[in-house]
Amino acid sequence: MLLDADESQLVLVDYQEKLMPAIFEAQAVVANALRLAQAARLLQVPVWGTEHNPQKLGGNVPSVRVLCERTLGKMSFSAATDELLHTLRPPVSARPASGNARSLPKHLRKPEVALPERPSIVVAGCEAHVCLLQTALELLEHEFEVWVVTDACSSRTERNRDAAFDRLAGAGAELVTTEMVVFEWLRDCEHPAFREALALIK
């Protein structure tokens, strides 16, 4: 099963300014998060960010925050809050109807329509064994396909990061890398955005 850009959304979890100095390989992790977000925007994949307790831990690093269409604050470790879940899977909305639709018999009313589904959630963030792990596990429980970008995730220690990856793989998440995601979104070298995307990862 390959990732499809038209069915994907990117969630960047807690790349916060006060947290990142303590994170193992933080510079590489942030660089890969930026590559992911830039590729996503290039390929019209929605990008969402989250920040844990931003009043104490600060906001996400500005270079990440500016690439997110929206950044959601949270107090729970998991970013899979009701707000994020509604963002990832908007509720069905009624079609606009002419006249007073409520006065029409049910069989004449226009059906409700859902926005196109984007069930593949590409997720990366910190700390891998806490906020990222809990977010990914809850997204799986909500029946999303979850793809964890390992080289854009980390923890304060390598051991905690790797333990998170082991647990996520066992729970059914797909473990991928930044380049895997970008090339699967592109699919072939004839994609109109191929050269721009390639420049991001070279």
pLDDT, tens digit, for every residue of 11-44?
A: 999 999 999 999 999 999 999 999 999 999 999 9
- pLDDT tens sequence for the chain (202 residues): 899 999 999 999 999 999 999 999 999 999 999 999 999 999 999 999 999 999 999 999 999 999 999 999 999 999 999 999 999 998 765 445 444 555 556 556 555 555 558 999 999 999 999 999 999 999 999 999 999 999 999 999 999 999 999 999 999 999 999 999 999 999 999 899 999 999 998 8
Tokens representing residue 105 in the block? 């018999």
Average pLDDT, the chain: 91
Q: Which domains does the chain have, with CATH numbers?
A: 5-90+115-125+135-201 (3.40.50.850)
Q: Would you give the distance in Å from CA 88 to the centre of its chain? A: 9
Give the whole-angstrom CA distance, residue 122 versus residue 15. Answer: 15
What count of other Cβ atoms lies within 10 Å of the Cβ of residue 137? 17
pTM for the whole structure: 0.87
Whether residue 132 contacts residue 156, with contact meaning beta carbons closer than 8 Å, is answered with no
* CB-based contacts of 48, cutoff 8 Å, min separation 6: 9, 10, 11, 12, 68, 69, 70, 71, 72, 84, 87, 88
